[in-house]
Structure 1
Amino acid sequence: MGVFVKAADLGSFAAAAEALRISPQMVAKHVVFLEDRLGTALLNRTTRRQSLTDVGRAYYDRCKSILMDAEAAEQLAQEMRTRPKGVIRVNAPVTFGAFSLAPFLTRYLARYPDMQVDLTLNDRFVDPLEDGFEVLVRIGEFEDASLIAHRLAPYRLIACASPAYLAERGTPQTPGDLEAHDCLAYAYWSPSLPCRWRFSRDGREEEVKATGRFRSNDWRTLLHAATEGFGITLGPESVLSAELAAGRLVRVLSEYEGPARPMHVIYPASRRPTVKLRSFVEAVVEAFGPK
């Protein structure tokens, strides 16, 4: 098939022979073999020119497709034997990306010295194909047939405050007690919109309005304010664990479950999973997958 396609592409047996580094007679034998097998002529040949027959044209198109698939299969097999190499463009939410994904990326790059990562952080929805991202990390419910998603551990939020704040203001025992405290609220869209925190216990959910003297659309500033004793913050457990271990913050309402949202690592279904893409996604799932 390869010889036949090359002869059709280049217009002569002699040109195909030169390109394939075989003799014109061997090119002719390959084409005749196919014609005998199929029981029909594939090429109209004269001393001056050659052209595809109707059957030859249809057969040529299918042969090209088959040969491309075979080449892709060989390339995939070769890639699976090699180390990841190249640039991978990643998009992730701001807080998760800055606190959790960034340390993971330095470990990943140390593990694969031929890889480069281009990381963009934002909380808006992005189209991976339109915006040119190969991998997304997204928090929230997910349904999109054009994307392949691998589930990660849920993004859990817990309430914390500094020991100094709790010594001065007391420790809330129920979510309703938060209404008497300074809550460091995350401003999702506009400072005019109320921020509500949800907690659950024994299957019952309780929602409270989080109010206080300081709110921001950047959770890092809220974390700083919390460690400085300016209120109670509701933030990701994965990030706050370090602050809790160091004693800079203390968890409150530990008998209640804070909000938890599903999280996935995602890539376009239309994108062939190259060795670099596979290695990155597998590493993310290993680091952040369900435990």
Structure 2
Amino acid sequence: MDRLQSMAVFVKAADLGSFAAAGAALDMSAQMVGKHVNDIEKRLGTRLLNRTTRRQSLTELGRQYYERCKSVLAEVEAADAIAHTQHSAPRGRLRINAPVTFGTYCLMPVIADYLNAYPEVQIDLTLSDRVVDLIDEGYEAVIRIGELADSSLLSRRLKPYRLIACAAPQYLQRRGTPTTPTELADHDCLGFTYAARPPAREWPFMAGDILHLAQVRNRFQVNDSRAQLAAAREGIGIIMGAEMMLTEDIQSGRLIRLLPDFDAPALPVHLLIPGDRRVLPKLRSFVDQVVEQLGGE
């Protein structure tokens, strides 16, 4: 069997969770899917999928092989696309990664405009607050918030990721409105946490050149910004969140901005792409679209 085809079939079977679903997606029988997977396992001398009558799951080695297969298949797609000239219409599939909040509230409108403009491009967007490896995990572009480490990746600076503090009117009626960062210590603040970082115990604010570190306590913490926003709307506590996420609620009156005389952090944002590959039309046009709509100040 063709090795690349077998790899593609294996990836599809792992993604969809069954040979039958993979066969339907690839227009082949479940038995043929099984033959491709069995051929790989026989060649490697190990099992990649644990299979029962009700479900299947990747083995530990199968997970590693799956990730490498995705990367190889992405490289093959890029190699095939080189046949198109620099000025050919963007086409093909783009794999993009972005942080959850940024991707939901800021990047999605850009992607919608891009897909309308380039009907022959498909986008696979993964939202995760984990720092992914662009090369090893087969992404063609990633969004990073925060300072960049030295790398061989090419970067384009986007608008800063601004944070602001807000609370619902019912919370402020019950607990009062803080007028300085120091007063936040007497309030309930909503913590944001994920695997790589516990919730912050200090919120930094600037007044001119003076840094104020507000001590905060979290009666409620969550690993999803949408749930954190919902908690703020319900009056559970004060949220420090992305300005782009909170603007609509502030304009509608559901939330009230706090401490307007103090600036919260503005974190750098970059769009990263591989530095050692030819930039194909689909990626070039995507980068241009993102920079046009979210470009740096």
TM-score (norm 2): 0.69
In structure 1, how many angstroms separate the alpha carbons of the residues matched to 2:138 and 2:100?
A: 18
CA contact (8 A) 2:207 2:262 kept: yes
Cα 1:118–1:192 shift into 2, 3 Å: closer
Cα deviation, residue 209, structure 1: 2.5
CA contact (8 A) 2:90 2:121 kept: yes
- Residue among 205, 209, 221 paired with 1:203: 209
- Residue among 219, 236, 247 paired with 1:213: 219
Cα deviation, residue 129, structure 1: 1.2
Letter in 2 for 1:233: I
The aligned residue for residue 289 of structure 2 is 283
Cα deviation, residue 190, structure 1: 8.0
The aligned residue for residue 187 of structure 1 is 193
The aligned residue for residue 104 of structure 1 is 110
Name the SS for the 1:183 alignment partner. Answer: strand
Cα deviation, residue 193, structure 1: 6.1
Letter in 2 for 1:147: L
In structure 1, how many angstroms separate the alpha carbons of the residues matched to 2:268 and 2:98?
A: 14
In structure 1, how many angstroms separate the alpha carbons of the residues matched to 2:219 and 2:90?
A: 49
Structure 1 unaligned spans of 5+: 1-73
**CA displacement 1:166-220 (0-9 Å, x = unmatched):** 1221111000111111101112448976532111111111112221321112111
Name the SS for the 2:144 alignment partner. Answer: strand
Letter in 2 for 1:83: A
**CA displacement 1:110-166 (0-9 Å, x = unmatched):** 121111100111112221111000001000111334100000011110000111211
Correspondence list, 1:45-84, <5 A? 78-80=85-87, 82-84=88-90
Cα 1:194–1:267 shift into 2, 3 Å: closer
In structure 2, how many angstroms separate the alpha carbons of the residues matched to 1:115 and 1:237?
A: 30
Cα deviation, residue 229, structure 1: 1.1
In structure 1, how many angstroms separate the alpha carbons of the residues matched to 2:113 and 2:180?
A: 40
Structure 2 unaligned spans of 5+: 1-81
Cα 1:286–1:145 shift into 2, 3 Å: same
Aligned pair count reads: 217
C-alpha RMSD over aligned residues: 2.0
CA contact (8 A) 2:182 2:215 kept: no
Letter in 1 for 2:86: E
Is residue 182 of structure 2 the alignment partner of residue 160 of structure 1?
no
Cα 1:192–1:109 shift into 2, 3 Å: closer
Cα 1:190–1:112 shift into 2, 3 Å: closer
Q: Percent identity?
A: 45
Cα deviation, residue 79, structure 1: 3.0
- Residue among 228, 245, 255 paired with 2:251: 245
Is residue 91 of structure 2 the alignment partner of residue 85 of structure 1?
yes
